[in-house]
Structure 1
Amino acid sequence: MSYRRKIVQFLIASLFLVYNSAFASVEAYLLGPGDRILITVYDEPDLRTEVKIDKSGLVSFPFLSDIQVVGLRTADVEKIITDGLRGDYLVNPQVSVSIVVYRPFFIHGEVKKPGSYPYQDDLTLDKAIALAGGLSPRASKSKWNITRVVDGKTVVVKANITSYVMPDDIIEIEQSFF
């Protein structure tokens, strides 16, 4: 196999992995306290509900008992509500759950405006830094960490400008000594 062909295959494989990891991060979003969700049932305006998820993680929905939504994807909540409404209340309910407001992420250290900012889909560290007004003159160009909870455990991830940021992440931009 030619050198050029190997390079092309490598580039295609790399692009595929980047695309899939970006898509997976959006698909894998788990609901948590602070998210605001909108639940709608097609052709049933009385069942439209918008609610902010509190620390208990429970969401009330008409005709159903409280639903524990923390740690679930929107598709999981759609299925729970669809299954709960089917039969006794509706023949074929068409349920949609969407996130209206994501919980925030936090950025501190050597940025111009540290604080909390609303999460956005496909948020990378370079975009988060831009939301915080950019790097301060004393900011390190490489010592960036993201603290996040993964499977109930707090982990610190060394980050770069292409690292994905998730809600509740704490980003630390360290000071440069040179």
Structure 2
Amino acid sequence: MKLKFLFAVIISLFVFSSINSQDLPPQLSSAKGYLLGPGDEITVKVQGEPDFDFITTVNEDGKFLVLDKILIAKCKTEAELKSEVTRILEKYLKSPQLSLRVTDRKSKPPATVYGEVRTPSQVMLMRKVTLMEVISFSGGPTEDAGGNVRIFRTQPPICTEDYEDSNWKPDTTDPSDVPSKMFTLSNVKLGKDSSNPVIYPGDVILVEKASPVYVTGEVANPQAVLIKEGGLSLFDAISKLGGPKREAKTKDIKVYRRKINSDSPETISANYDLIRTGKQKDIMLEPYDVVVVDKAKDSIGKVLLDLAIGTGKSAISSVTNGIGYRVMY
């Protein structure tokens, strides 16, 4: 997925869906505090010395200027920077009392959670947070969620020691592509480290919707059925829709499946009766399969019977049409 396209999707999603940015509860905040990065705005006020007040922005190298000194702000807390600024001002002021606050946090954009979650959200990450926590914080998966979650890493994380950049590479050599990884919801729920990664500022988490298959023809309630996590078999799909009708051609059900680089679908035949009795292996359906349950042809006996009844009716009709009638009182 292209970077520009991704951001267009996200922006339109949040503008038109009126999704508000949310903060994690205070008790989930990091004890160490916010770690600064490029783009953050710092406001310093010195008690009784307004001439020494200033507002500055951390540059791309993670630094900012205090009088004639350059300080490194990247990956430091407000408290750490306050101590460093105080030491510089002590050269000009006696026991300076000052406040230092980050007044605009731009180095760590919120993580975005959207797709099949109950409360799509933008989440400010104030501590180390995992994928399972972020999904839970967004209300958990909806009923239409499939089995996959994809994480798009829109920017390299900063101020982290355990991040391995080599594990997050784009699928192509196109520089505009965004690195991404796919995880399954079942493994995420188990909390396995390999399937429950740390989420970083700027990450975009997409809980994908289950893909449909389409069942048509002689079933009780023909319609689309979603393939949930764990898969969907032919027998289960038909059963979910009330089963086949009495007129259904259950011995020869067709499954039409898309073929890569081909306009003609692959055709798979299945005997529903044999599958039901365990004599034939069930077919696992794939996204966008089309299942067609045709109407069974009449047996030769029924055809002859219908023909005889139809001929008899025709004969009687032709005879009676040629005879006049009288009324007896």
Provide TM-score, normalisation by structure 2: 0.35
Listed as ranges, the matches of 1:96-107 within 5 Å are 96-103=99-106, 104-107=109-112
Match of 2:35 in 1: 30
Q: 1:118 to 1:176 in 2, by over 3 A?
A: closer
Structure 1 unaligned residues grouped into runs of 5+: 1-18
Q: Does 1:172 align with 2:176?
A: no
How many residue pairs get matched?
A: 148
Q: 1:154 to 1:45 in 2, by over 3 A?
A: farther
Q: 1:110 to 1:136 in 2, by over 3 A?
A: farther
User: In the TM superposition, what is the alpha-carbon distance from 1:117 to its structure 2 partner?
Assistant: 5.8
Match of 1:47 in 2: 52
User: Partners of 1:84 and 1:127 in 2: how far apart?
Assistant: 45
* Kept in 2: contact 1:105–1:169 (CA 8 A): yes
* Kept in 2: contact 1:59–1:69 (CA 8 A): yes
Higher RCO (CA-CA < 8 Å; seq separation 6+): 1
Residue type of the alignment partner of 2:32: E
Q: 1:47 to 1:138 in 2, by over 3 A?
A: farther
Name the Cα RMSD after superposition: 4.4
Q: Does 1:78 align with 2:110?
A: no
Match of 1:68 in 2: 72
User: Partners of 2:113 and 2:50 in 1: how far apart?
Assistant: 43
* Kept in 2: contact 1:102–1:120 (CA 8 A): no
User: Partners of 1:118 and 1:146 in 2: how far apart?
Assistant: 15
User: Partners of 2:164 and 2:60 in 1: how far apart?
Assistant: 18
Match of 1:3 in 2: none
Residue type of the alignment partner of 1:22: L
Once the two structures are superposed, residues 4-54 of structure 1 have per-residue CA deviations (whole angstroms, 9 ceiling, x without a partner) of xxxxxxxxxxxxxxx99635x153321011211111111111122112222
User: In the TM superposition, what is the alpha-carbon distance from 1:126 to its structure 2 partner?
Assistant: 6.8
User: Partners of 2:77 and 2:41 in 1: how far apart?
Assistant: 13
Runs of 4 or more above 3 Å deviation: 116-130, 134-149, 154-160
User: In the TM superposition, what is the alpha-carbon distance from 1:174 to its structure 2 partner?
Assistant: 2.3
Higher relative strand content: 1
User: Partners of 1:171 and 1:78 in 2: how far apart?
Assistant: 33
Q: 1:75 to 1:176 in 2, by over 3 A?
A: same
Larger Rg: 2
User: In the TM superposition, what is the alpha-carbon distance from 1:152 to its structure 2 partner?
Assistant: 6.4
Provide TM-score, normalisation by structure 1: 0.59
Q: 1:128 to 1:165 in 2, by over 3 A?
A: farther
Residue type of the alignment partner of 1:56: D
Match of 1:153 in 2: 163
Match of 2:96 in 1: 93
Structure 2 unaligned residues grouped into runs of 5+: 1-24, 166-180, 192-197, 211-227, 229-329
Residue type of the alignment partner of 1:151: E
User: In the TM superposition, what is the alpha-carbon distance from 1:90 to its structure 2 partner?
Assistant: 0.8
User: In the TM superposition, what is the alpha-carbon distance from 1:96 to its structure 2 partner?
Assistant: 1.4
